[in-house]
Amino acid sequence: MTRLIPDWEIRITNFGLGYILLCLVVAIAATNTGNNGLYLVLAAMLAAMVVSGMLSRRNVRSVRCQIETVGEVVATRPAWLKLRFENQLSGTAQALFFLHEALPGPLWIDPLKPGETRELIVEGTFPRRGVHQTADAGLLSRFPLGLFRKYRKAALAREIVVYPLPLASGVPEVPTDEAPGGRPHSLARGGGSDIRTLRDFSPGDDPRDLHWKQSARMRRLIVREREAERDRVLFLAIDNAFTWPPDAAALERFEQTIARCAGQALLLLSRGGEVGLHARGVKVAARSGRAQRLRILDALARLEPVPKESAEDFPAMRRGDVRWFVS
Amino acid sequence: MVRFLKGRRELPEGLRRAYLLVLAPAAIVAPLPLFWTDGANRLALVAYEIGIALLWWRARVGRPVRLSDAAQNVLGLAYIGWLGLETATLRLGLLRSVSHLLLFTAMAKLASLKRPSEARLALLILFLLTLASASSSTHVSSLAYFVVMGWLAFRTLSRVAVLADFDQAPPERVLASVPTSGVSVVAVAGGVVCAVPLFFALPRLHGPFVVAPFRVDDAFSKAMTADRVDLESFGAAKRSDRVILRLSARPTLPAADGLRLREAVFTEYQDGSWLRDPWRGSRREPSAFRGDAAVASRPGSWVVAADLNVFGQGFLFLPYGTTAIRVEKGRASELPEGVMQVSSRGTVHYEADVLREPARGKGRAVILRADVPPEVQKYAIELTSDLSDPTLIYRRIESHLLKDFVYTLEPPRAKGDPITHFLLRSKAGHCEYFASAAAMMLTARGIPARLVTGSYGGEEGFLSDSIVVRGENLHAWVEADLDGTGFQVLDPTPPAGVPPAMRAFSLMSRLVAFGREIEFFYDRRILGFDAGDQIGAVESLRESVGDATGALAAWRQTAKDFLSPRTTTTLLLAAAAGMLALLLARRIGARPSPATQAYLILRRLLGRRRGILPQSMPPAEVARLFGREVPPGARDAAEVVEIYTASAFGGMEPTPERLRQLKERIARLRKLA
């Protein structure tokens, strides 16, 4: 049997349908025979439906569920989810299952006492990259009699960004400084050996950068401002324009491209390079370091295919920058 | 957005065990009433119960039974053969055959659970077993069965609903935690509250399927339902504690007079049995029993309302002096000698208008002298030959029976005529023997007499001022015309045999009486509930609403008469003053703590210097600004704020010493500000 994370709030179960059918059968039998024993059973069955409705309504609606991720979330890799349940009911909320697409099956939640708040950390796996603005998750319960399934969506503490799983592939060669285009001057300040400019000393400047001769001439403290050490900048590029509507194979190739792009970006960044990302309508400026890694993964997680007809051009590049189309 | 979860095939062992643990208790209880209703062979039931208990036990120890498909097939085929034999040869009846089939199927299904759908099928079979038990049971204990099954059904269904979402064996704590006992109690109580009105509101198109609380095997029925009544069975009827009727009276019934209820008159005696022949004479509508609304208002009269469990021919128990009768459903017919008969089945409600007058039997039929056995005639003449006055003759007979005879509900079995045997040999019997002998002897002496049966005495109802008449209150006496003034009531039974007019009640007997009230209610209002009752209930409701409306109108008129403009103004003013006092009291009750009050004073003082302070200004800012405005008071202000924040946000109430200091600080701040 296949069960789904529901897009409804209440649905009758097969058992519930059978129960209603049985009620009809008992009603016919009672009416035809006049047997008050059967009338008692029928009355009890109908009363059970009323009681069931009231109890289940209170049971599910009273529990608030909030989800947030702990750490980075990468597609198809285990990730930690922090679940927070709060019972706002004056009675115990029970027979609750937590459903989430990242979990392999329904997660049993032990009964929540009145007013109780409970936090759980569970391991889940998101099947694909992307951004979850709303929770594809919630609480499901058949309580008390299993006649109906009631579902309440969970809330996200913040959006969940599922990064693509980086795939290893060939790393692009960065052209040497001597290659056409030459090595441009870095626009950024940094700790390199080349001097970018001379300027007045300001608090926080390294005293070792004081330009004593010029300071003597100017009769005030002058420091050397150095250029940042950098290689030639590489932009990984992905063409996300498709003939619309894209077919499944094309989308699958697109996902593979993104995964390879992620792998290449991470590898280059791990070597200390400056890497940026270009796609149609998307630009991540080239930088290095851990923050850049997150920026690129975030952009790749959000990258969506666009129709070729309305697609923007790739962002413009500076002289000397290199764009590498990932395929 | 959809997400596929794991599919499900065959139940793993742990999950099967969980299903068995959930279903077995309900499976054990479901067919229990069949033991008493004879709805199934007791041996089969015992085998079933043992089988289910075994399955349960195996599941509890972690080794759930799982019959192989081959074993299942063999068992099924064998049972089909047995079923053919049972229906074709043994002819046990449809209910029994169906019950046996359900018992077998339930056990086989529980022993071979393979898929969740089979668990639900087992649940359906258990439901059908419950249905068979409920529909065949007519005893009041069925109510207890319904409550127990309601609780078990809720528990079972809740747990099955939980198990439906498990692919593997659930942790032990799961089944233990659902449902919580509080929810179970609420659910069962809520179910009862909803089910009661539903039961009475569901439409009835037929008369009740089962109505008589009197079982066929009750000896009672033999004595009281047939037109041919033998003396021997009367004792068995008196030993029964079945409820015959419950009656109440307006005004309250005088117990000593009013509790002799006449049911039947016997004037024919043949072969040791009394016969009542309702068809003798013309059958006619009860002309003497036309409703007379004025009767109840006459002094010395009252209205008796009774709920009678009708059995046999439907004779009503009526007090002497009945002048009119109203029957809730069915038709009442008057038979000779003032006996009334109704056509209803089950339980009938009727009201009788009764005049308080000396008890006199109606009609003129008497025992014929030819019907008196010769031995009895001889006995009577020997006993009373020296007397000629009918009253004295009766006194002699009564005295003789009192002194020389023993009252017993189990008289020695007679060979030949029972009255002759009673008088000449056993000299022991119950009221019918005494009354029969007296009536016969009076007849032998030429005094018009007849035997009357009915009831005498009763028990106080537990929850009402009604009187409950049960089997032990059945009684027989004589009606004889001693002085030409009509048939007087003569009771020759020794006092030991006369049912008590009213019982003294201990706590235990009150509890027993309470049980009988429930029993009567079940018999009358549940088992015998039908469309007529529904109509009656609707009419009662309509009357109640009408009465309430009338009462309201009368009250409004009274209020209008009573409330002059001045009185109304006074009352309104008083109400307004009361409301004001209430508001003040509530305000005083909600007075803030001393620390908060001090802080509010501080804010007020600062407000006087700086204008209105925003509500959002934090306490520390208040202290800081006050310090800036009044530098000498900065320290006191800071201290006030500290005490306030500790009290309001930290839950730390100031000690009495700090409170005293707080007051001093506030006083200083007032001066400084």
One DSSP character per residue, A138-202 reads EEEE-TTTSSEEEEEE-EESS-EEEEPPP---PPPPPPPTTSTT--PPP-SB-S-SSEEEEEE--
**Closest Cβ–Cβ partner in B124, B173, B186 for A110:** B173
Confidence of residue B461 (pLDDT cuts 50, 70, 90): low
- Chain B residues with CB-CB distance to A38 below 8 A: 131, 134-135, 209
Contact B3 A5 (CB under 8 A): yes
Q: Minimal Cα distance from A148: which residue of B?
A: B161
- Chain B residues with CB-CB distance to A2 below 8 A: 4-5, 7
Distance CA B214, CA B529 (A): 16
At A180 the pLDDT is 53
| CB of A126 less than 8 A from some CB of B | no
Confidence of residue B464 (pLDDT cuts 50, 70, 90): low
Size of interface A-B (CB pairs under 8 A): 184
Task: Give the mean pLDDT of A258-262.
Answer: 93
Spatial CB neighbours of B288, under 8 Å, sequence gap ≥ 6: B323, B334, B338, B362
Q: Minimal Cα distance from A109: which residue of B?
A: B174
Q: How far lies B110's CA from each of B19, B107, B176, in Å?
A: 9, 5, 21
Q: Minimal Cα distance from A30: which residue of B?
A: B204
Distance CA B490, CA B394 (A): 9
Cα end-to-end span (Å), chain B: 66
Which two tokens mark B70?
Answer: 């081959």
At B3 the pLDDT is 37
At B191 the pLDDT is 92
Q: Minimal Cα distance from A7: which residue of B?
A: B1
Closest by Cα among B456, B270, B491 to B370? B270
Distance CA B321, CA B359 (A): 7
Task: Give the mean pLDDT of B472-488.
Answer: 88
Task: Give the mean pLDDT of B205-216.
Answer: 56
At A22 the pLDDT is 94
Taking only residues 243 to 262 of chain A, the set having a beta carbon closer than 8 angstroms to any beta carbon of chain B reads none
Beta strands in chain A (DSSP E): 10-12, 63-70, 73-74, 78-87, 96-100, 107-109, 117-125, 130-132, 137-141, 148-153, 155-156, 160-163, 195-200, 222-226, 234-238, 241-242, 275-279, 282-287, 306-307, 322-325
- For B240: left if phi > 0, alpha if psi spans -120 to 50, otherwise beta; the answer is beta
Closest by Cα among B302, B214, B306, B316 to B265? B316
Contact B137 A37 (CB under 8 A): yes
DSSP state of A318: -
Closest CA of chain B from A39, distance in Å: 6
**Closest Cβ–Cβ partner in A1, A51, A105 for B191:** A51
Contact B206 A51 (CB under 8 A): no
| The one-letter amino acid at B623 | A
Does pLDDT of B312 surpass 60?
no
Among B165-179, B439-453, B462-476, which is the least confidently predicted range? B462-476
Contact A34 B3 (CB under 8 A): no
Q: A36-60, pLDDT tens digit by residue?
A: 889 999 999 999 999 998 888 888 8
| Disruptive mutation site among A8, A11, A51, A112 for chain B (greatest number of B CBs within 10 Å) | A51
At B604 the pLDDT is 87
Where is mean pLDDT largest: B49-63, B259-273, B515-529?
B49-63
Where is mean pLDDT largest: A296-305, B9-18, B347-356, B406-415?
A296-305
Average pLDDT, chain B: 81
At A277 the pLDDT is 93
- Chain A residues with CB-CB distance to B150 below 8 A: 44, 48
DSSP state of A112: B
Closest by Cα among B536, B529, B533, B522 to B243? B522
**Closest Cβ–Cβ partner in A34, A50, A106 for B530:** A34
Taking only residues 153 to 212 of chain A, the set having a beta carbon closer than 8 angstroms to any beta carbon of chain B reads none
Closest CA of chain A from B524, distance in Å: 11
Contact B208 A34 (CB under 8 A): yes
**Closest Cβ–Cβ partner in B5, B177, B206 for A34:** B206
Contact A39 B137 (CB under 8 A): no
Does pLDDT of B255 surpass 60?
no
Could you tell me if B335 and B276 are in contact, meaning their C-beta atoms sit under 8 angstroms apart? no
Confidence of residue B501 (pLDDT cuts 50, 70, 90): low
Confidence of residue B438 (pLDDT cuts 50, 70, 90): very high
Does pLDDT of B597 surpass 60?
yes
Contact B157 A145 (CB under 8 A): yes
At A2 the pLDDT is 43
Does pLDDT of B1 surpass 60?
no
Which two tokens mark A156?
Answer: 């996200």
**Closest Cβ–Cβ partner in A50, A95, A97 for B158:** A95
Among B194-198, B302-306, B376-380, B483-487, which is the least confidently predicted range? B302-306
Contact A145 B161 (CB under 8 A): yes
Contact B158 A110 (CB under 8 A): no
**How far, rounded to the nearest angstrom, does the alpha carbon of residue B19 sit from its chain's CA centroid?**
35
% of chain B with per-residue pLDDT over 90 = 18
- Chain B residues with CB-CB distance to A142 below 8 A: 161-162, 164-165
β-pairing, A96-100 with B487-490?
unpaired
| C-alpha angle B167-B172-B175 in degrees, rounded to nearest 5 | 80
Does pLDDT of B285 surpass 50?
no
Using DSSP, state whether B595 is helix, strand or coil.
helix
Q: B15-65, pLDDT tens digit by residue?
A: 999 999 999 999 999 999 988 888 888 899 999 999 999 999 999 998 888
Q: B76-88, pLDDT tens digit by residue?
A: 899 888 888 887 7
**Residue showing tokens 């058992």:** A15
Going across the sheet that includes A234-238, the strands are A282-287, A275-279, A234-238, A322-325
Does pLDDT of B221 surpass 70?
no
β-pairing, A306-307 with A275-279?
unpaired
Using DSSP, state whether B143 is helix, strand or coil.
helix
Closest CA of chain B from A297, distance in Å: 24
B374 cis-preceded (ω within 30 degrees of 0): no
At B467 the pLDDT is 80
- Chain B residues with CB-CB distance to A55 below 8 A: 183, 186-187
Using DSSP, state whether A129 is helix, strand or coil.
coil
At A135 the pLDDT is 75
Compare A193 and B128 and report the one with higher pLDDT: B128
**Closest Cβ–Cβ partner in B161, B192, B529 for A36:** B529
**Closest Cβ–Cβ partner in B1, B137, B162 for A95:** B162
| C-alpha angle B170-B174-B175 in degrees, rounded to nearest 5 | 95
Going across the sheet that includes A117-125, the strands are A117-125, A78-87, A63-70, A155-156
Contact B179 A143 (CB under 8 A): yes
| CB of A133 less than 8 A from some CB of B | no
- Chain B residues with CB-CB distance to A27 below 8 A: 202
- Chain A residues with CB-CB distance to B199 below 8 A: 36, 39-40, 43
Contact A5 B526 (CB under 8 A): no
Among A87-91, B324-328, B552-556, B637-641, which is the least confidently predicted range? B324-328
At B474 the pLDDT is 85
Count the Cβ atoms, other than its own, within 10 Å of residue A80. Answer: 14
At A16 the pLDDT is 92
- Chain A residues with CB-CB distance to B182 below 8 A: 91-92
Phi first, then psi: what are they for A228, rounded to 5°?
-75, 145
Beta strands in B182-320 (DSSP E): 228-230, 243-250, 260-266, 268-270, 273-275, 301-309, 318-319
| Disruptive mutation site among B156, B158, B206 for chain A (greatest number of A CBs within 10 Å) | B158
Does pLDDT of A185 surpass 60?
no
Using DSSP, state whether B61 is helix, strand or coil.
coil
Contact A37 B136 (CB under 8 A): yes
Among B71-80, B186-195, B221-230, which is the least confidently predicted range? B221-230
Distance CA B38, CA B133 (A): 10
Contact B198 A47 (CB under 8 A): yes
Which two tokens mark A285?
Answer: 């400026």
Does pLDDT of A19 surpass 90?
yes
Contact A18 B209 (CB under 8 A): no
% of chain A with per-residue pLDDT over 90 = 31
* Burial class, B124, CB count within 10 angstroms (exposed 0-12 / middle 13-18 / buried 19+): middle
Distance CA A204, CA A198 (A): 15
**Closest Cβ–Cβ partner in A26, A50, A99 for B131:** A26
**Closest Cβ–Cβ partner in B120, B171, B177 for A111:** B177
**Closest Cβ–Cβ partner in B154, B182, B187 for A92:** B182
**Closest Cβ–Cβ partner in A13, A35, A145 for B209:** A35
Closest CA of chain A from B91, distance in Å: 23
Contact B174 A108 (CB under 8 A): yes
Q: Minimal Cα distance from A16: which residue of B?
A: B161
| CB of A130 less than 8 A from some CB of B | no
Which two tokens mark A296?
Answer: 């690129």
| CB of A116 less than 8 A from some CB of B | no
Could you tell me if A219 and A254 are in contact, meaning their C-beta atoms sit under 8 angstroms apart? no
Closest by Cα among B503, B153, B350 to A22? B153
Count the Cβ atoms, other than its own, within 10 Å of residue A292. Answer: 21
| CB of A22 less than 8 A from some CB of B | yes
Closest by Cα among A120, A78, A116, A79 to A98? A120
| CB of A110 less than 8 A from some CB of B | yes
